[in-house]
Amino acid sequence: GGPYGGTDPLAGMPPLAEPGKRILARLIDFLIISIPLYLISLPFGGAVDVGNNNANNNDFGNAISNSYNGHQLIWSLIGVVVYVAYDTYFTHKDGRTPGKRLLKMRVAMLNDGSVPDTTSSLLRAVVLWVPALLCCPCLWWLVNIVLMFTDKPYRQGLQDKAGKTVVVAVR
């Protein structure tokens, strides 16, 4: 049965997707968005400011503030909007981003296996991308990767828990 002794929501659904394939699909989607977004940013000075750090400055606080300026904040916010829109659109459309489609997976509602509605798709995308792009990318990805490998019984990342979804394999 399910985690609390009830009926298993996955009964009759395809098997859960392998965590390694999920990570690869996310990487594919990340590249599909990141490369064009970076190229679009170039005429406007680029999304990453690599030439503005003072090499003679040993003050850690100033180094941090110099490396993440207002220009980069604007591009981070643009990136959040693009990533959230991309993920929301494809997840709501048929549960499959291009990366998931390529690796034969889809997002399904945990309760019945259906394609996530707009609210679940948006919540899932916001929980996945906002912290990852604005606050703590390395830690956020590490937590999600560990959860995909260790969460029982559904291998849910934080975005799956928020959206009440699972990622399943498809043919």
Q: In one letter, which amino acid is 101?
A: R
Q: What is the pLDDT of residue 69?
A: 65
Q: What is the pLDDT of residue 61?
A: 47
Dihedral of CA atoms 57, 59, 64, 68 in degrees, nearest 10, equals: -40
Q: What is the pLDDT of residue 138?
A: 81
Interior/surface letters 57-84, b for 16+ CB within 10 angstroms, e for the rest: eeeeeeeeeeeeeebbeebeeebbebbb
Q: What is the pLDDT of residue 63?
A: 42
- The per-residue pLDDT string of the chain (171 residues; one tens digit each, 9 = 90 and over) reads 455 556 677 777 899 999 999 999 999 999 999 999 999 988 887 776 555 444 444 454 444 444 456 777 888 889 899 999 999 999 999 999 999 999 999 999 999 999 999 999 999 999 998 887 777 778 888 888 899 999 999 999 999 999 999 999 998
Q: Give the residue from 80, 132, 96 showing the smallest Cα distance to 21.
A: 96
Distance of alpha carbon 70 from alpha carbon 53, whole angstroms? 14
Q: Are 116 and 92 in contact (CB under 8 A)?
A: yes
Q: Give the residue from 20, 11, 17 showing the smallest Cα distance to 160.
A: 17
Q: What is the pLDDT of residue 55?
A: 47
Return the domain boundaries, the chain. 19-169
What's 111's DSSP letter?
Answer: T
Q: What is the pLDDT of residue 64?
A: 44
Q: What is the pLDDT of residue 68?
A: 55
